Amino acid sequence: METKTKNILNAAMTKIMRPLVRIMLRNGISFRQFSDLIKWVYVDVAITDFGISGRKQTDSRVSVITGLSRKDVRRMKNILPPSDQTEVQSYNRAARVIAGWKKDPDFRNSDGSPLALKFDGMDLSFGHLVQRYSGDVPPRSVLDEMERVGAVHVTKDRKIHLKTDAYVPAGDQPALLSILGNDVSELMSTIDWNMTTQKTGRFFQRKVAYDNLPTKAAAAFKNIGAEEGQKLLEKLDQWLSNHDRDVNPSVKGAGRKRSGLGIYYFEETIEKQISSVNKGDET
């Protein structure tokens, strides 16, 4: 790898690792634990993505590719990967139920707002909603999860009211950490794909940012971004649900793809003024 490319990659890795290390230290993950995780990922990627067609990937070749000793390679191959599947499934179930509640005409009032639902019964109920958008998962477990994160409110007459536009597990550390793993890896996978794919086959990857905004303008942009982003995501959610075979079993077509689009807001304080115009006559 040429020096310029290596320097740029090292700078990129430093930027990526800084917030990740903050999160790890905050949650008691030591460097030793992180080192073993990185070793496991190096070995797994070398075996999965850097093999030679028709040939078995040997420990010696993995050692050469990764720079790890053969002893480390063998040790990593015997370690089971960490899993957050339970959290991912919980997140997906709740998110689908909320999205269905907001967009399905059967579960909306005449003004378009989500209906207050009984838990069960002959009419359309929360149980019917869960069955339609989350399969055979017990409605009680979905309701418990949604109550726990404050997404619904159950009144004295046992009616269930939706309180949020989307499933956001605020303050729920395990779920938020699971989202970290999913969302960041998806963004980085998109960047990796775009770096190794011809222009016509690249995935959509854009952002907009300015670095000399007053605090008031940044706050206003944060609100605009949230409102417009939510509108776009709801529109895309409707399109995707119409074409997803779990939601609409009648949808035809070969293959199975997982597709999506994410929106996020970012902000940082820049201590030094960018432009000398804002400094007055300091010369």
Name the strands in the sheet holding 152-154, side by side, starting at the edge strand that comes first in the sequence. 117-118, 159-162, 152-154
Tens digits of pLDDT across the chain (283 residues): 688 888 999 999 999 999 999 988 988 889 998 999 999 999 999 999 998 888 888 999 999 999 999 999 999 998 888 776 666 677 778 888 888 898 888 999 988 889 999 998 877 899 999 988 887 788 998 898 888 878 899 998 889 999 887 777 655 567 777 778 888 999 999 999 999 998 899 999 999 999 999 999 999 999 999 999 989 998 898 899 889 888 788 899 999 999 999 999 999 998 765 444 454 444 4
Could you state, in order of their start, the residue ranges of all structural domains in the chain? 1-81, 85-162
Domain topology for 85-162: Arc Repressor Mutant, subunit A (1.10.10)
Report in angstroms the alpha-carbon separations of 158 from 97, 121, 164: 19, 12, 18
CA distance 279 to 118: 62
Structure tokens at 40: 């496991």
Phi and psi of 161, rounded to 5°? -110, 135
CA distance 212 to 176: 30
Judge contact between 63 and 70, C-beta under 8 A: yes
Residue type, 36: D
